[in-house]
Chains A and B, each alone.
Chain A
C-alpha cells in the first residue's frame, strides 16, 4: 500500500474491536506491532511495498483478545480509536494502543485479502 505524499490514502478496511484483557495491573491486547516512521521499512516482512512505514501486526498471541477479535498477522493498522496510525512513530503507536484508561480499542485494519476481495466482487476478472 504505497502512498503519494500529499494525496489522500484510501484503503479497504475492516473494523476490529478488541476488548483488553486485564492481567494484574496490566491491560493487554495479545499482539505485537512493528513499524513506524522512525523504523526501517525495508525489514518489514509483511508489507508489500518496502517503503511503507506503517504499523503492522507481527504476531498474534493465540487465544488472546486480538485473536478472538479477528486480528490477523500481517494486518496494517490504519486507525486506533480514531487516531491515525499511518504516520506515527513506533512508540506513539504503542502508546495509543496501551492507554490504561481504555478497555476497548477499535482498530481499522487493512490487508491484502480485503483489497482483493473487493476487487474481485467489483471487477469480476480473474486474477493472474
Chain B
C-alpha cells in the first residue's frame, strides 16, 4: 500500500481506510496512535486546512489582481505545508508500526547512538539574477510582461514563504528581503528552495476570453506577450498543476478560479553550502519559454546561509570543578564554576557571575584541535582527572580538571565527547559564531506615495543643529533681501524659514512652486560645490554664504530643468551671493551649454583638490551690490530657495581637502533626503570631470 522508503511523499492511497481516518481526524483513536507528537501535527494540519479554506474563499471573492495573487500564494503555501505535515504523520505512523523509537532528542544515548545537537539555520538576502534577451527590450514594444514570484523554503517540517515580488523586464534581479530562520535543524539538513511564479497580466485569465478574440488579441500584442498569452490560452505542456507538480495529493486541492503558481526553479542547500558570507548556488529550472509563467533566469541564486548550532549558543554543560594548570604548583587547584559553550570552557569564580555577565576568571579553548583525555586515577580520591590540552601558538598548555565525584567526571567527559561530536558534525559552523539577524519587527519607514513630483519628497533634516544653522543662514539672507526690495517679490523661502522654525522636519513643496523658471541661481548642485560650512566656518555672513553658494554659478542653465524635476536641492543655493558673473549668463537648457559655460568659467579640471569657493570674503562683497542693482536679470536675482540643510554640498569632487562636504561637522551623521540626492547626483553625473563622494 505504501512505500516505506519514501519519507517525503504522502503515499496513502486514495480512499483507503487510513486516508479516511486521517481526514476525519479520527486517527487519534486509532490503535497506531501515539501521543502528543501526533496530536501536534494533527493540530497543525487542521490549522493549515482552515487557512487553506480561507485562502480559497478569499481567492474566489477577490476582484483585484494583487489580492488574488497574494491569496493564491497563501493557498500554495498552505497546500505545501499540508503535504509536508501529512508525510511526516505518515512517517511517524510507519515508524511506530515498525516499532522503532520515533522520538529524537539531543540527550546522549549510548556512545554509538550519539546524536548531534540541533541548530538554527537562517537564509537571507536571496537574490536571483535574470537574463533578459535584448528582444525583450528592443522589439517588444508592447505592455510589460509581468510575473509574480515568491519562494518557498522548506527545511525539515518547517515551511516558510517569502513575500511576493512582481517581476518585469525592468528588473535585473529578483530580490527577496526576508530573512527566514529555521529553528530546529540537524546538521544533515536539506533546505529546499523553490521559486514559484505566476503570470500577472490583467485580463488574461485563461479561459475567460473567447477563443477568437483571444487569437485576435494575441496577434496584435507585442511578440513575447502574445506568445505567452497564446500559451496561457491553450492548455499546453505547462498546464498548471496547482501543487507545483509534486506527489499525488492526499486531499484534493480545491480548484479555484484565479491565478495559479507554478514551480519555476528549485535547489537544495545543505551543510556544505553554509558560510558566513554570500555564495552563489545553481538552480534547477523547470518549465520552458513557452510557459506563461516563464522568466529568463540566469540559472543561479545568491544568498547568505548561516547556521548557529546549539552547541555554539547554549550552555552544553555547567558545574563546579577544580582546575589546575599543568606545570604549576601541584597543589594549586582553583575552584571554579565552569560553563561549556561554543568553542570554550568558561571558568567563573562563582555561579552568580554567569548571570551577572562578569568576565570569567579564565577560559580554556575547546575546539577541533583540543585533546581531552582522562588521566589515571588519583590515588587519594580515586577520581579520574580530565586533562585538556591546547596548542597556543606552538606551545602546548594543559589544564587538569577534577570534580568531586566519579559521576561528575563521567558527566563532564560525556559532555566533552558530545561537544566534539557536535563540532565534527556541524563542521565549519563551529569555527566561529555566525551572526543571524532576526527579522526586525518594526515596520520600515513609511514610504510616501508618489504624488507625481519630487517636490513632495523634499524633507528637511530633522536635527537641532541643522535647524539652527538653517535659521541663521536664512536670517542673514533675509537681511540681504531687504537690500533688494526692488525685487518686489517676497522670497518664497521665507515660508520655509517659518516652517523651519516651527518644525525642523517638514515638507517644502510650496517653496518650489514659485521658483519654477525663475531662478537662475539655482541651487544647482555641482559637484564642485564648495566645502560645507565646516570648511568655511561661519566667520561671517559672507563666508558662509560663499560656502553655500559656491557653485551657484553653475547651473543656471539647468535650473529650469531642475524645477521641473521638482528641485529638491536642499542646498543652500542662496544664489544671491553667487559670484556675479553668473548672473549675466543667459539661461539655457541644454547640457552642452551648461558644460560649456562651466568650462568657460574656467572651472577646470581640478576642482578636485580645491574648493572653488574659496574666494575671500571681500570678493563676495562685490557681487552683492551688483546683483542688487541689476534687476534686469530679474529672474536671476530672485532668490532661490533653499530648504537647505547644512548638507549643502553634495557630492563634491574634492578629496581630502574638503572631506565629504556631505554634512556639516555639527551633524556628522545627517544625510540628505533621497530626492535631493537623486537630483544632485544627476547633475553631478552630468559633468564627467568629477570624482564624486557620497556619505552613507
Contacts of A61 on B, CB cut-off 8 Å? 668-669
Contacts of A100 on B, CB cut-off 8 Å? 444-445
**B267: Cβ under 8 A from any A Cβ:** no
Contacts of B437 on A, CB cut-off 8 Å? 103-104
Question: In the complex, which residue of chain A has the Cβ closest to the Cβ of B608?
Answer: A43
Contacts of A21 on B, CB cut-off 8 Å? 669
Q: Tell me the residues in window 637-696 of chain B with beta carbons closer than 8 Å to chain A beta carbons.
A: 651, 653, 655-656, 659-660, 662, 668-671, 677-678, 681, 685, 688-696
**B408: Cβ under 8 A from any A Cβ:** no
Check A90 against B685 for contact (C-beta < 8 Å): yes
Between B440, B662, B681, the greatest number of chain A beta carbons within 10 A of the residue's beta carbon is seen for: B681
B567: min CB distance to chain A, Å: 18
* Complexed CA–CA distance, A94 and B302 (Å): 21
Contacts of A59 on B, CB cut-off 8 Å? 659-660, 693, 695
How many residues does chain A have at the interface if contact means C-beta atoms less than 8 Å apart? 45
A24: min CB distance to chain B, Å: 5
B643: min CB distance to chain A, Å: 16
Q: Tell me the residues in window 78-128 of chain A with beta carbons closer than 8 Å to chain B beta carbons.
A: 79, 81-83, 89-91, 94, 97-98, 100-104, 106, 108
A13: min CB distance to chain B, Å: 10
**B350: Cβ under 8 A from any A Cβ:** no
**Residue in B505, B668, B685, B694 whose beta carbon sits within 8 Å of that of A33 in the complex:** B694
**B70: Cβ under 8 A from any A Cβ:** no
**Residue in A34, A40, A58, A94 whose beta carbon sits within 8 Å of that of B688 in the complex:** A40
**Residue in A30, A42, A44, A91 whose beta carbon sits within 8 Å of that of B669 in the complex:** A30
Between B505, B653, B671, the greatest number of chain A beta carbons within 10 A of the residue's beta carbon is seen for: B671
Contacts of B36 on A, CB cut-off 8 Å? none
Asked if A94 meets B696 with Cβ closer than 8 Å, knowing A38-B685, A40-B690, the reply is: yes
> Which secondary structure characterizes the binding site on chain B?
loop
Contacts of B691 on A, CB cut-off 8 Å? 34-35, 39-44
Check B440 against A82 for contact (C-beta < 8 Å): no
* Complexed CA–CA distance, A40 and B463 (Å): 34
**A45: Cβ under 8 A from any B Cβ:** yes
Check A32 against B659 for contact (C-beta < 8 Å): yes
B287: min CB distance to chain A, Å: 26
Check B692 against A34 for contact (C-beta < 8 Å): yes
Contacts of A15 on B, CB cut-off 8 Å? 276-277
Check A23 against B670 for contact (C-beta < 8 Å): yes
Asked if A106 meets B278 with Cβ closer than 8 Å, knowing A32-B695, A90-B685, A101-B444, the reply is: yes
**A36: Cβ under 8 A from any B Cβ:** yes
Contacts of B659 on A, CB cut-off 8 Å? 32, 58-59
The interface size bin for chain B is 35 or more
Question: In the complex, which residue of chain B has the Cβ closest to the Cβ of A24?
Answer: B462
Check B304 against A32 for contact (C-beta < 8 Å): no
Question: In the complex, which residue of chain A has the Cβ closest to the Cβ of B447?
Answer: A100
**B435: Cβ under 8 A from any A Cβ:** yes
**Residue in B462, B660, B694 whose beta carbon sits within 8 Å of that of A94 in the complex:** B694
Contacts of B656 on A, CB cut-off 8 Å? 45
What 0/1 readout, one digit per residue, does chain B (437-478) give for beta carbons within 8 Å of chain A?
100100011000000000000000011000000000000000
B446: min CB distance to chain A, Å: 9
* Complexed CA–CA distance, A30 and B669 (Å): 7
Q: Tell me the residues in window 251-302 of chain B with beta carbons closer than 8 Å to chain A beta carbons.
A: 276-278, 302
Contacts of B669 on A, CB cut-off 8 Å? 21, 23, 26, 28, 30, 61, 64
Asked if A31 meets B688 with Cβ closer than 8 Å, knowing A81-B278, A100-B444, the reply is: no
Q: Tell me the residues in window 150-205 of chain B with beta carbons closer than 8 Å to chain A beta carbons.
A: 177
**B127: Cβ under 8 A from any A Cβ:** yes
**B66: Cβ under 8 A from any A Cβ:** no
**Residue in A17, A24, A98 whose beta carbon sits within 8 Å of that of B463 in the complex:** A24
Asked if A82 meets B304 with Cβ closer than 8 Å, knowing A23-B670, A100-B444, A106-B277, the reply is: yes
Contacts of B681 on A, CB cut-off 8 Å? 90-91, 94
Contacts of B678 on A, CB cut-off 8 Å? 91
Check B670 against A90 for contact (C-beta < 8 Å): no
* Complexed CA–CA distance, A15 and B127 (Å): 20
Q: How many A-B residue pairs have CB under 8 A?
A: 113
**B136: Cβ under 8 A from any A Cβ:** no
* Complexed CA–CA distance, A104 and B670 (Å): 18
Asked if A81 meets B692 with Cβ closer than 8 Å, knowing A58-B660, A108-B277, the reply is: no
**Residue in A25, A32, A89, A104 whose beta carbon sits within 8 Å of that of B696 in the complex:** A32
* Complexed CA–CA distance, A73 and B629 (Å): 48
Contacts of A44 on B, CB cut-off 8 Å? 691
* Complexed CA–CA distance, A111 and B691 (Å): 20
Contacts of A41 on B, CB cut-off 8 Å? 691
A60: min CB distance to chain B, Å: 10
Between B435, B651, B696, the greatest number of chain A beta carbons within 10 A of the residue's beta carbon is seen for: B696
What 0/1 readout, one digit per residue, does chain B (103-136) give for beta carbons within 8 Å of chain A?
0000000000000000000000101000000000
* Complexed CA–CA distance, A32 and B437 (Å): 25
Asked if A32 meets B693 with Cβ closer than 8 Å, knowing A15-B277, A106-B277, the reply is: yes
Contacts of B689 on A, CB cut-off 8 Å? 40
Contacts of A106 on B, CB cut-off 8 Å? 277-278, 304
Check B278 against A82 for contact (C-beta < 8 Å): yes
* Complexed CA–CA distance, A17 and B440 (Å): 17
Contacts of A23 on B, CB cut-off 8 Å? 669-670
Between A32, A83, A94, the greatest number of chain B beta carbons within 10 A of the residue's beta carbon is seen for: A32
Check B690 against A39 for contact (C-beta < 8 Å): yes
Question: In the complex, which residue of chain A has the Cβ closest to the Cβ of B279?
Answer: A82
A35: min CB distance to chain B, Å: 7
Check B692 against A36 for contact (C-beta < 8 Å): yes
* Complexed CA–CA distance, A49 and B59 (Å): 59
Check B653 against A43 for contact (C-beta < 8 Å): yes
Check A90 against B302 for contact (C-beta < 8 Å): no
B373: min CB distance to chain A, Å: 33
Check A32 against B694 for contact (C-beta < 8 Å): yes
Contacts of B690 on A, CB cut-off 8 Å? 39-40, 43
Check A29 against B278 for contact (C-beta < 8 Å): no
What 0/1 readout, one digit per residue, does chain B (490-513) give for beta carbons within 8 Å of chain A?
000000000000000100000000
B170: min CB distance to chain A, Å: 15
Contacts of B662 on A, CB cut-off 8 Å? 32
* Complexed CA–CA distance, A97 and B677 (Å): 14
* Complexed CA–CA distance, A34 and B609 (Å): 14
* Complexed CA–CA distance, A98 and B669 (Å): 13
Contacts of A101 on B, CB cut-off 8 Å? 177, 444
Contacts of A38 on B, CB cut-off 8 Å? 685, 688
Question: In the complex, which residue of chain A has the Cβ closest to the Cβ of B302?
Answer: A82
Question: 27 A-B pairs, CB-CB below 8 angstroms?
Answer: A23-B670, A24-B463, A26-B670, A28-B696, A31-B695, A32-B660, A38-B685, A39-B690, A43-B608, A43-B655, A44-B691, A58-B659, A58-B660, A58-B693, A59-B660, A81-B304, A82-B304, A91-B681, A91-B685, A94-B696, A98-B671, A98-B696, A100-B444, A101-B177, A102-B177, A103-B437, A104-B437
B residues touching A (Cβ–Cβ < 8 Å)? 125, 127, 177, 276-278, 302-304, 435, 437, 440, 444-445, 462-463, 505, 606, 608, 651, 653, 655-656, 659-660, 662, 668-671, 677-678, 681, 685, 688-696
**A-B pairs, 5 with minimum CB distance:** A82-B278, A43-B691, A32-B660, A34-B693, A97-B696
Q: Beyond A24-B463, A30-B668, A94-B677, list 8 extra A-B contacts (CB 8 Å).
A: A35-B691, A39-B692, A43-B653, A64-B668, A81-B304, A94-B694, A100-B445, A103-B437
